[in-house]
Amino acid sequence: MKAADPLFITEQSASSGSITLSKLFLFPNPVSNELRWNAPSGRSDLNYTIYRLDGTIIEVPLSSAANGSFDVSKFSPGYYILMAKTAHGETIAKNSFIKI
């Protein structure tokens, strides 16, 4: 009897490795004074960052609560992006808003 060749099984993911981002619900949009948000799935463990289109980070103290608001009255009129990230820095949600 001939000995059988060893069998090796490797697992591979069929995923492309990309992450599907959720959208933050922002209102009112466009906004002039106070912008409110609702986090995806009501998560309260997120850090929020606001960016201009040129990538500049806007320093605004944002709560990590699932629902919140912040004052944009001193922002220059324009287009902004709000991103929600986990404590590990993974972006899980984003949306844009217009300051008028």
Question: What pLDDT shows up at residue 7?
Answer: 44
Q: What fold is seen in the domain 22-99?
A: Immunoglobulin-like (2.60.40)
The residue ranges of every structural domain in the chain are: 22-99
Segment 71-86 mean pLDDT: 93
Q: Is residue 92 within a helix (H) or strand (E), and if so which, with residue range?
A: strand 91-99
Give per-residue burial for 40-78: e unless 16+ CB within 10 Å, then b. beeeeebebbbeeeeeeebeeebeeebeeebebeebeee
Give yes or no for a contact between 89 and 37, defined as CB atoms under 8 angstroms apart: no
Question: What pLDDT shows up at residue 85?
Answer: 86
- Answer yes or no: is pLDDT of 97 > 90: yes
pLDDT in tens, 21-69: 677 899 999 999 999 988 777 677 788 889 999 999 997 767 777 788 8
pLDDT in tens, 6-21: 444 434 434 444 455 6
pTM for the predicted model, two decimal places: 0.72
Question: What pLDDT shows up at residue 57?
Answer: 94
